[in-house]
A and B are shown apart, each in its own frame.
Chain A
Amino acid sequence: MAGYLTRRILGALLVMWAVATLVFFMMRAVPGDPLAAMMFDSGDPAAAEDLRRALGMDVPLVDQYARWLWQLLHGNFGSSIYGSQVPVRQLLAEALPRTLSIAGLSFVVACVIAVPAGIIAAMRKNSPADNALTLVAFLGLSMPDFWFAILLIILFAANLQWLPAIGYSPMSEGFWPWLSHLIMPAIAAGTTFSAIIARMIRSSMIEVLKTDFLRTARSKGLLTWRILLVHALPNALIPVVTVMGIALALMLAGTVVVENVFAIKGLGRTLIEGILNRDYPVVQGAILAVSAIFIGANLVVDVLYTIIDPRIRYS
């Protein structure tokens, strides 16, 4: 296992380097000069060139790449090109807790909705309950999350005034302020994923419920909940965990739309704004963070397989 993990981590680093390199060159191939917007008011092309030199953007691309990679190896992600040139590390450090908070709570919301719904639908296959849950799941999948988020704001913030409409409050300012700002974003982001996970649990459970060992369990007179939770669910979880892992990675990469609607700047919005502004260092830093998250989530899922099913062994 240790050898396997070492190989996976080394492979992950290689993938991250490849992704970062690709992004470095692709971003510069995209039309748009980041200094154009910054220096537009100055009306002085010479001043723009001075700034280009100051930012090290006047040297050949390969030299820029080498410099960036060298800084990266020293843990320096560079600084935003825009405004007061805030270090990318600071931008990511501020964005990540917000994204982790939304993703974590969204994942909880998704699981709380999906697991019971999936099990009930599988147990009562083709019943009105199953059909109703299927319909709700499709609605959840079809509903644009920004629209659902706005509905939540109108109902719970503007009309009922139970929850704050926008913004984020760090945990350091209290648990309730933190939670109250995240309830609606988590519901908006989690609902879509809950539909996907519920459908996966349902189909996986239906397959498992047909197996011989569960027939044996039933014939031995075991309680239904015990059959479902102890015998059926763990065996149905392998494909579900894969989907959950992907869902969690997607949430961690930043639920851009939800972040926009609730005015919370997480990783997703940092990345999108960076792309729109052609803020190269920010995009590169954010892509590195996102790729690390995806690779990390995949690794965690693979390790979870061995816990869920002890027959799985990596060597």
Chain B
Amino acid sequence: MAKYLLLKHYRGAPAAVNDVPMDQWTPEEVSAHIQYMRDFATRLEGTGEYVGGEALSPEGTFVRYDGEGQPPVTDGPFAETKDLIAGWMVIDVETYERAVELAGELSAAPGAGGKPIHEWLEVRPFLTAPPTISECHGG
């Protein structure tokens, strides 16, 4: 099993195919979209592939160390250029193919007109600690 991070972006990714802003949908379409994501997470809990997920506020701040005795420098948010992350889900799946398959399903969440939004999701594998016992040949 390996863990993958599925990232939803506010901006920075190519536009979704069905790219109507959410507040222009009907309330039922908003509910259907949210329900789809909930059902998706619940189903993955059932298959033992769900690790966690959270939604993030669009506002972020860049912070930098500014030298001994100085308070950290903060700036931003740089909303125009920064790759803003809307939310994430961590899954723990058998293969990369399965991670891509699930990201594809998540991207099909319904939007305006009840049609899939086809948004771009980023799939990032987690780096793991080195194995305690290295696998070797001929054992």
Q: Do A and B bind each other?
A: no
